[in-house]
Amino acid sequence: MQVPKSVITGTGSFIPSLVKTNRDFAAHDFYDEKQQLINQPPTLIADKFQQITGIAERRYATCELNTSDMAVIAAQIAIADAGIDPETIDQLIVAHNVGNVIKHTIQTDLIPTLASRVKHGLGIKNPACVPYDLLFGCPGWLQGVIQADAFIKAGVAKRCLVIGAETLSRVIDVYDRDSMIFSDGAGACIVEAETSSTSGAGILASSVLSHCNEEVDYLFMGKGNFPGSDPRVRYIKMKGRKVFEYAMKHVPSAMKACLDKAGVDVRDVKKIFLHQANEKMDEGFTKELYKLYDIKDIPENIMPMSIHKLGNSSVATIPTLYDLVRKGELGDEHEINSGDIILFASVGAGMNINAVCYKV
Whether the pLDDT of residue 1 is over 80: the answer is no
Q: What is the mean pLDDT of residues 130-154?
A: 97
Q: What is the mean pLDDT of residues 159-181?
A: 95
**Is residue 196 pLDDT above 80, yes or no?**
no
DSSP state of 112: S
Q: Is the pLDDT of residue 100 over 90?
A: yes
The pLDDT score that the predictor gives to residue 231 is 86
- Amino acid sitting at position 356: V
Instruction: Give the range among 20-34, 67-81, 82-96 with minimum mean pLDDT.
Output: 20-34
For the residues of 272-337, what is the DSSP string, one character each?
EEE--S-HHHHHHHHHHHHHHTT--PPPTT-S---HHHH-B-GGGHHHHHHHHHHTTTT-GGG---
Q: pLDDT exceeding 90 applies to what percent of the chain?
A: 85
> Where in the chain are all domains bearing CATH 3.40.47.10?
5-194, 202-359
The Cα 237–Cα 4 span in angstroms is 41
Please report, for residues 12, 106, 158, 191, the alpha-carbon distance to residue 81 in angstroms, rounded to integers and kept in the order given: 7, 36, 17, 12
Backbone angles phi, psi at 238, to 5 degrees: -145, 135
Domain 5-194 is in which class? Answer: alpha beta
Provide mean pLDDT across the span 66-75.
Answer: 98
pLDDT tens string 8-67: 999 999 999 999 999 898 888 899 989 999 999 888 998 889 998 999 999 999 999 999
| pLDDT reported for residue 307 | 94
pLDDT tens for each residue of 328-346: 999 888 999 999 999 999 9
* The pLDDT value given to residue 272: 97
Reported as a single tens digit per residue, the pLDDT across 263-292 is: 999 999 999 999 999 999 999 999 999 999
Question: CA Rg, the chain, in Å?
Answer: 20
Q: Which H helix or E strand runs over 251?
A: helix 240-262
Are 322 and 12 in contact by the 8 Å Cβ rule? The answer is: no
The answer regarding whether domain 202-359 maps to CATH 3.40.47.10 reads yes
Residue type, 261: K
Confidence of residue 321 (pLDDT cuts 50, 70, 90): very high
Tens-place pLDDT, residues 212-243: 999 999 999 999 999 988 888 999 999 989 99
Amino acid at 281: M
Least confident piece of the model among 20-29, 74-83, 302-311: 20-29
Give the mean model confidence (pLDDT) for residues 310-337. Answer: 95
